[in-house]
């Protein structure tokens, strides 16, 4: 499984190709010549590919388990309800690909065609890609180091034949590491509309999310806004509200005010959401009147408004 | 390529437990912290190694965020969370200039720091070292398993929540453990039900999906 040495100094480091651990690596010559530190030609190839994709949204969080994949899936469902809107959902969580299960597409396979990899279509206007579709068994672990994960992400962006797309939603793993750097790097020339950052109300989550916001600033990724998920729980028995994840430091509202980023909305914790995800069904269909559904719909509308404001001039525009 | 099993800074550590999960947000850090506190309560000396470099949660959970790490002759001195020095902690959180600073590192740099955390921290005599990990099966996990291998870790505690989406990732984590030769001590199902504080009505946890016991591993408890 390993293609790079354990102690690889990194292809753009000053030690690239020269370190003791580089001996025997198949890329040693490339790194030592400095060619590996040159701009990746894939960036231009991806820019070309992305010309048929109108809006690109990254769904991020420093914190795990806050609902990124759940949100990405329902953003896709919500946007695709308009059959004239072409939606693409790309799952770059290589180690923990949840999207196939949440979209009810577990076990589906990806096909190759002359124009590249075909995404798996849930609806005519909703295509999905994930490393989950490339595994032979759902229990297969993807035990890859950074460079191999980066290679997969490059392939997903360059080699998947998305066709004409209005919205490309990129679901990411938690953190600020290889996957995030690669996504931003490879999409650098292709104009990302921005990031939607997911959090829960607790400070343990917010402290990671502040880092994610700083990451966005560092890599010059615009922030569309923050979504506070699992924000309050209504007991179905007594209808009273409790806070399961207490906002001891004021929750996302205070954080957004302090860091001057928009708060797109708060989604309450509805146990039916988790159930829908496990069954691979849209929560909107399961519970159309839930306060969580209403919150999601309002947030999706705000995201659409933000994307239409950022519409680049002079590019080949698709659809609505 | 394994490190030679020479006495190092983990020479005085009796048992090493890794806390893993394929899934994020299931409670690894919370459980690592509670495990350390429970072991202390049982009179043990405990160290916690937080190798979640992008999202280091443990300093805040033990109320030692903002503390600094010092050097001694045998390496870095871990931060003690109490006067009695019964729990010590090492985390990248202590090495950041500002708490909101993002650690935006690719794999090789993360691997290098994790190796240092294992070899250059003067843990001293410990009954248990609890190793908290980020979600996934990637650089951090491979680096810490490789670095700890000469010290024969007791094994891994794998944490999940009841939902199938979480269990799916955890099955992959169990595959990882098998592949790297790490014994699984057991699985913890966290957030397993909720008692409403108003009416005391009990609900199963979010998702409510019963999952079949993992063969050979999760026989129903007493």
Check A242 against B164: CB less than 8 A apart: no
Residue with tokens 């990248």: B92
Selected residue with higher pLDDT from B201 and A118: A118
Least Cα separation, residue A101 to chain B (angstroms): 7
Per residue in A188-199, pLDDT tens?
888 899 999 999
Least Cα separation, residue B176 to chain A (angstroms): 6
The per-residue pLDDT for A236 is 74
Provide the pLDDT confidence category of residue A319 given band limits of 50, 70 and 90: very low
The per-residue pLDDT for A36 is 59
Q: How far is CA B18 from CA B7, B24, B130, in A?
A: 20, 15, 6
- Report how far residue B79's alpha carbon sits from residue B152's, in angstroms, rounded to the nearest whole number: 24
Of B103, B165, B176, the CB nearest to A143: B176
Instruction: Note the pTM of the prediction, 2 decimals.
Output: 0.85
- Report how far residue A137's alpha carbon sits from residue B109's, in angstroms, rounded to the nearest whole number: 31
Asked if residue A18 has pLDDT above 80, the reply is no
- Please tell me whether residue B13 adopts helix, strand or coil conformation: strand
Per residue in A252-278, pLDDT tens?
999 999 999 999 999 999 888 999 999
- Report how far residue A206's alpha carbon sits from residue A63's, in angstroms, rounded to the nearest whole number: 8
Number of other CB atoms surrounding residue B190 within 10 Å: 17
Measured between beta carbons, which residues in chain A are less than 8 angstroms from residue B164?
101, 278
- Report how far residue A292's alpha carbon sits from residue A199's, in angstroms, rounded to the nearest whole number: 15
The per-residue pLDDT for B204 is 54
Q: Which value does ipTM take for this structure?
A: 0.81
CB A198 within 8 A of CB A87: no
Instruction: Report the residue of B20, B110, B136 to disrupt the A interface, i.e. the one with the largest count of A CBs within 10 Å.
Output: B136
Measured between beta carbons, which residues in chain A are less than 8 angstroms from residue B99?
207, 210
- Report how far residue A142's alpha carbon sits from residue B173's, in angstroms, rounded to the nearest whole number: 9
Measured between beta carbons, which residues in chain B are less than 8 angstroms from residue A197?
none
Least Cα separation, residue A155 to chain B (angstroms): 19
Give the closest residue to A106 by CA, choosing from B56, B63, B164.
Answer: B164
CB A91 within 8 A of CB A97: yes
- Report how far residue A94's alpha carbon sits from residue A179's, in angstroms, rounded to the nearest whole number: 8
| DSSP H helical ranges for chain B | 28-41, 58-61, 107-119, 139-148, 164-179
Measured between beta carbons, which residues in chain B are less than 8 angstroms from residue A273?
206
Residue A146 corresponds to which tokens in the numbers above? 């950074």
Measured between beta carbons, which residues in chain A are less than 8 angstroms from residue B108?
7-10, 13, 146
The per-residue pLDDT for A259 is 95
The per-residue pLDDT for A62 is 87
Instruction: Report the residue of A96, A130, A290 to disrupt the B interface, i.e. the one with the largest count of B CBs within 10 Å.
Output: A96
CB A255 within 8 A of CB A225: no
Q: How many CB pairs under 8 A join A and B?
A: 199
| Contacts by B117-120, CB closer than 8 A, 24 or more apart | B117/B49, B117/B51, B117/B90, B118/B9, B118/B10, B118/B49, B118/B144, B118/B147, B118/B148, B119/B3, B119/B8, B119/B9, B119/B75, B119/B147, B120/B9, B120/B75, B120/B76
What rounded mean pLDDT belongs to chain A? 88
Selected residue with higher pLDDT from A2 and A184: A184
Share of chain A above pLDDT 70, in %: 90
The per-residue pLDDT for B209 is 36
The per-residue pLDDT for A229 is 96
Check A215 against B203: CB less than 8 A apart: no
Tell whether A277 is in a known binding site. no
Asked if residue A1 has pLDDT above 80, the reply is no
- Report how far residue A57's alpha carbon sits from residue A191's, in angstroms, rounded to the nearest whole number: 10
CB B168 within 8 A of CB A98: yes
Measured between beta carbons, which residues in chain A are less than 8 angstroms from residue B26?
64-65
Q: Residue B97 pairs with which residues in a beta bridge?
A: none
Q: How far is CA B107 from CA A15, A150, A211, B138, B217, in A?
A: 15, 10, 18, 8, 31
Instruction: Report the residue of A11, A133, A145 to disrupt the B interface, i.e. the one with the largest count of B CBs within 10 Å.
Output: A145
Per residue in A35-87, pLDDT tens?
656 778 889 999 999 999 999 999 999 899 999 999 999 999 999 999 999 99
Asked if residue A124 has pLDDT above 90, the reply is yes
Q: How far is CA B206 from CA A18, A273, B193, in A?
A: 51, 8, 8
The per-residue pLDDT for A281 is 95
Provide the pLDDT confidence category of residue A2 given band limits of 50, 70 and 90: very low
Per-residue model confidence as pLDDT tens for chain B (222 residues): 444 445 678 999 999 999 999 899 999 999 999 999 999 999 999 999 999 998 898 999 999 998 989 988 889 999 999 999 999 999 999 998 888 888 888 888 899 999 999 999 999 999 999 999 999 888 899 999 999 999 999 999 999 998 888 888 888 999 999 999 999 999 999 998 887 888 876 655 443 333 334 443 343 334
Q: Which residues of A189-200 are buried (b: 16+ CB within 10 A; e: fewer)?
A: ebbbbbbbbbbb
Per residue in A138-165, pLDDT tens?
888 888 888 889 999 999 999 999 999 9
Mean pLDDT of A238-253: 87
Number of other CB atoms surrounding residue A1 within 10 Å: 9
Selected residue with higher pLDDT from A96 and A71: A71
Strand ranges in chain A using DSSP code E only, listed in sequence order = 53-60, 87-91, 111-113, 116-118, 120-123, 126-130, 165-171, 194-199, 223-228, 233-234, 241-242, 263-266
- Report how far residue B4's alpha carbon sits from residue B27's, in angstroms, rounded to the nearest whole number: 34
The per-residue pLDDT for A215 is 92
Tell whether A307 is in a known binding site. no
The per-residue pLDDT for A189 is 87
Least confident of A131-140, A265-274, A301-310: A131-140
């Amino acid at each position: 499984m390993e293609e790079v040495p354990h102690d690889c100094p990194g292809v753009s480091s000053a030690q690239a190709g020269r370190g003791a651990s580089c001996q025997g690596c198949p890329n040693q010559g490339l790194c030592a010549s400095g060619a590996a530190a040159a701009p990746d030609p894939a960036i231009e190839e991806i820019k070309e590919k992305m010309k048929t994709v109108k809006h690109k949204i990254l769904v991020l969080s420093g914190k795990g388990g806050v609902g990124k994949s759940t949100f990405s899936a329902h953003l896709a469902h919500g946007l695709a309800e308009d059959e004239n809107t072409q939606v693409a959902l790309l799952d770059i969580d290589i180690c923990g690909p949840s999207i196939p299960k949440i979209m009810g597409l577990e076990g589906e396979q990806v096909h190759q065609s002359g124009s590249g990899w075909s995404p798996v279509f849930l609806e005519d206007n909703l295509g999905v890609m994930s490393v989950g579709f490339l595994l032979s068994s759902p229990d297969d672990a993807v035990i890859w180091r950074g460079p191999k994960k980066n290679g997969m992400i490059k392939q997903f962006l360059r080699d998947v034949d998305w066709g004409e797309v209005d919205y490309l939603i990129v679901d990411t793993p938690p953190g600020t590491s290889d996957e995030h750097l690669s996504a931003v790097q490879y999409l650098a020339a292709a104009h990302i509309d921005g990031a939607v950052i997911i959090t829960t109300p607790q400070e343990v989550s917010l402290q990671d999310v502040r880092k994610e916001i700083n990451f966005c600033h560092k890599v010059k990724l615009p922030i569309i806004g923050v979504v506070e998920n699992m924000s309050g729980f209504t007991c179905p028995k007594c209808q009273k509200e409790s806070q399961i994840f207490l906002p001891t430091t004021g929750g996302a509202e205070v954080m957004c005010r302090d860091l001057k980023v928009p708060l797109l909305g708060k989604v309450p914790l509805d146990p039916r959401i988790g159930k829908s995800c496990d069954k691979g069904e849209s929560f909107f269909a399961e519970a159309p009147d839930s306060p969580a559904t209403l919150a999601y719909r309002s947030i999706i509308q705000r995201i659409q408004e933000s994307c239409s404001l950022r519409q680049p001039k002079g590019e080949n525009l698709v659809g609505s | 390529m394994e490190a030679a099993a020479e006495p190092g800074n983990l020479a005085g550590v009796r048992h090493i437990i890794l806390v893993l999960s394929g899934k994020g947000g299931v409670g690894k850090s919370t459980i690592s912290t509670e495990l350390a506190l429970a072991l202390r309560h049982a009179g043990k000396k405990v160290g916690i190694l937080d190798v979640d470099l992008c999202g280091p949660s443990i300093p805040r959970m033990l109320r030692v965020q903002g503390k600094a790490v010092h050097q001694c002759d045998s390496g870095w001195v871990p931060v003690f969370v109490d006067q009695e020095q019964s729990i010590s902690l090492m985390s990248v959180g202590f090495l950041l200039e500002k708490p909101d600073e993002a650690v935006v590192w690719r794999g090789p740099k993360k691997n290098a720091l994790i190796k240092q955390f294992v070899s250059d921290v003067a843990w001293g005599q410990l009954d248990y070292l609890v190793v908290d990990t980020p979600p996934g099966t990637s650089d951090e996990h491979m680096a810490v398993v490789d670095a700890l291998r000469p010290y024969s870790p007791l094994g891994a505690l794998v944490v999940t929540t009841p939902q199938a989406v979480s269990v799916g990732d955890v099955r992959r984590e169990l595959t990882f453990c098998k592949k790297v030769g790490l014994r699984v001590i057991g699985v913890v199902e966290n957030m397993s039900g909720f008692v409403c504080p108003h009416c005391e009505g009990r609900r199963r946890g979010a998702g409510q999906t019963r999952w079949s016991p993992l063969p050979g591993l999760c026989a129903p408890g007493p």
